[in-house]
Amino acid sequence: MAVLLLARWVARAEAVAMHGLTPVGLKLWITQLQFAATTIRWYWWGTGLLALLLGLVAGLPSAIFIPAGLILLPPWAVLAALAAAQTVASAVVWGIVRRFQLADPAKELFPPTVGDFGAESMRLTFWPRLFPAFPLRFLDAVAAARIPPTHSLAMHLLPMALGNTLRLAIHVGWFHFLLAVVVDFRPFPDWDLGWFLALTLGECLGFLLPEMPEVAPAPARARQIVRTLARQS
């Protein structure tokens, strides 16, 4: 870790001295950080993953960790690590809510027609996760409290993981193409710019659609749940 911090300081000093705060300077800094990351011992990676998991359980947003991850790792590795960590964090929060019988944060919101999810509870653990307007830990607590006790965590772990992965794919992709547009020098930058603009639209829709779920690409029952959750989150 000390080596990485020293390399970061040296790279930043050299980049600023040679190129200032320009795309070339940022590219040089990122490249040297990536090279320094190859010298990190496995136990420091383990410590970082543990810190990531604790931060996610505490409710820190993924956007805090994605930029640093993309500097050190390829996008697919960042997505895989974050999706796994978010799913584990969801399981931890589910277990805490069930174990201590914590209150439902959306108890007063759902009308009787949406009250007992029963066989349709998969929609509560999957669809709302596609909208970044809803914090994941809020969704975990609602699902654990609202879904009947006869439903175990194992029944909902797959839709949780799938929802988390699809949600994070947009986040990671957006940051990746942002870095590509700013610091990468590729023969066809219009490809990176096109993806960046498309994912920017996806991010915006993720925050806007809960306010107008009628146009959301989801089943009618899921849109009703999204509309209800939007009043509380």
Question: What string of pLDDT tens digits covers the 233 residues of the chain?
Answer: 444 444 454 445 554 444 455 666 666 766 677 666 667 777 777 888 889 999 999 989 999 999 888 888 889 999 999 999 999 999 999 989 888 877 666 555 554 444 445 456 677 888 889 999 889 998 898 888 878 777 888 888 999 999 999 999 999 999 999 888 877 766 677 888 899 999 999 999 888 888 887 777 777 777 777 877 777 65
- How far apart CA 62 and CA 182 sit, in angstroms, is 21
> Count of alpha carbons within 13 Å of 45, Cβ hemisphere only?
12
> Do residues 203 and 174 touch, judged by C-beta distance below 8 A?
yes
Q: Closest Cα partner for 96 from 137, 132, 65?
A: 137
Q: Do 170 and 199 form a contact (C-beta atoms < 8 A)? A: yes
Q: Residues, the chain, total?
A: 233
- If you search the block for the tokens 């607590």, which residue do you land on? 141
**CB–CB of 133/230 below 8 Å?**
yes
CB 16 within 8 A of CB 51: no
**Taking the model in full, what pTM does it have?**
0.78
Whether the Cβ atoms of residue 193 and residue 66 lie closer than 8 Å to each other: no
Q: Are 204 and 210 in contact (CB under 8 A)?
A: no
How far is residue 196's CA from residue 177's CA, in Å, rounded to a whole number? 5
CA separation for the pair 69, 67 (Å, rounded): 5
Q: How many CA atoms lie within 13 A of 213 on its CB side?
A: 20
Alpha carbon distance 233, 231 (integer Å)? 6
Cβ atoms of 233 and 135 within 8 Å: the answer is yes
